[in-house]
Structure 1
Amino acid sequence: LLFDADTIYSEADVYAVLYLSFEGGPWNEYAVTEDFTIFGSSGSDEYVLVTELMSGYPTGDYDLLIELFDTFDGAFVASYGPDETSGLGFLPLEDFNRDAPVTEVVIIESHGGGGSLDGWLLSILLLLLFISASRKIWRHRNDSLVRIDSPAPAWRTGKDSRW
């Protein structure tokens, strides 16, 4: 929470008490600041308060009220809440124990290709290579089969009868 309080004086020492109201219910004090100094209407004296609602705050809409008190005598100085600004009303809050676990979404982007052969073309080439090798093996086996009662072919003996 960041807020900037102003004063009509050159400076004033104050502290803040913060209250939450659950869905229009009673105001419940939830934080008190340390003493701090505000300087006239300067914007350089902003106050930052970091809090975590640890437990006991059900999920819902909350209103936030800030009250300032003088550090010298504890006198009420000013208040600022949902009646003055809608930014402090209907805040969707819940305690730390009710927070949903944070899951990181991982997006994986992948691109295929980049090679000169894709899977289908490679499969077809391997199939053609297999068929070619099978035919050569079949021919080689069939060429070496010779009938016993027939003469050897001329091309086997190197003698051609026409020459």
Structure 2
Amino acid sequence: MKTLNYVAVLVASLTFGSMANAAEQATVNVIEYGVDHSQAAAERQKSVSQLQLMPQAATELNTLSREQKQAEISASVATANKSKLQAVSSLTQHSYYHEFSFFSAEAYLLSDDNYDGFYHSFSLNFDADVYGAYANESVPVYAVIYISRNGGDWTYLHTTDVFYLQGSSAFDSYEVITSLDSGYPTDHYDILIDLYELGYDDIVATISSDDTNSLYALPLQSYNRDQVYDSGYQETVVVSGGSLSALVLLGLGLVGWRRRIAA
């Protein structure tokens, strides 16, 4: 009976713990370095640490799929074009066509506090090129970043500020450092980046884990899961088989516990 009580309580705690994890709000901290890569890696790590000490800086994310985010962008562009109130003046209200492509995209793992091989912060550095009517034309763009857990659906992570591309220059690459604050279970994640020309709602270039291994299967987890706990020995028990639900097992455990007290 003692074993049954233990199993019942364990199964119930695992069930309720899973429910709590599923309801956890996804939050992230983001630092954008843009085209300035002069900062040393130690300084970037310091910036990540400072953001972790400022929970109010974390941004709560709505669970948006890639399709939902594209629809949101289309709606916002349509509204901006109709009202003529775009926040940044586009230099590309043109009658000719721009062609875009990604030259490269690299992901770099940064912080793993408990040294379990899963990181809560990472850097994305990507270089996109543009080809138009003029060789030195500056074209305003922005990128939308998505994340996929273990090959699942793409979900929205971050939209960058507006930045400018100049032909095939290597000096207009963009860098974004992301710290996953909460809502990301320990697992392997893929990254996808969509590029948009400012003022237009169609995706002009995309790069993802399908194109480069650097964006594939990143070992990540939330900051709240990447902590060092000194609580001594912890036992993990796996319960399988049977058709009793967790609530039924919990009930049996409580009955056995009461009988033991009465005895």
Report matched runs for 1:10-89 at 5 Å: 10-89=137-216
Task: Determine which of 222, 239, 253 is the counterpart of 1:95.
Answer: 222
Taking the aligned partners of 2:130 and 2:229, their CA distance within structure 1 comes to: 42
Q: Flag structure 2 segments of 5+ consecutive residues without an equivalent.
A: 1-123, 231-263
Question: 1:72 deviation in Å?
Answer: 1.8
State the Cα distance separating 1:102 from its structure 2 match: 9.6
What is the alpha-carbon distance in structure 2 between the residues aligned to residue 75 and residue 42 of structure 1?
A: 23
- Sequence identity (%): 43
- Largest Rg, 1 or 2: 1
Deviations 1:39-88 (A, max 9, x none): 11100001111211111100110000000011122321110011110110
Identify unmatched segments of 5+ residues in structure 1: 104-163
SS at match of 2:148: strand
Higher-helix-fraction structure: 2
The normalised TM-score by structure 1 is 0.60
Give distance in 2, aligned partners of 1:40 and 1:59. 39
Q: Which has the higher contact order (CA 8 A, sep 6+)?
A: 2
Give the whole-Å Cα distance in 2 for the aligned partners of 1:53 and 1:70: 27
CA RMSD of aligned residues (A): 1.7
**Amino acid of the residue matched to residue 170 of structure 2?**
G
Correspondence for 1:6 among 123, 129, 139 = 129
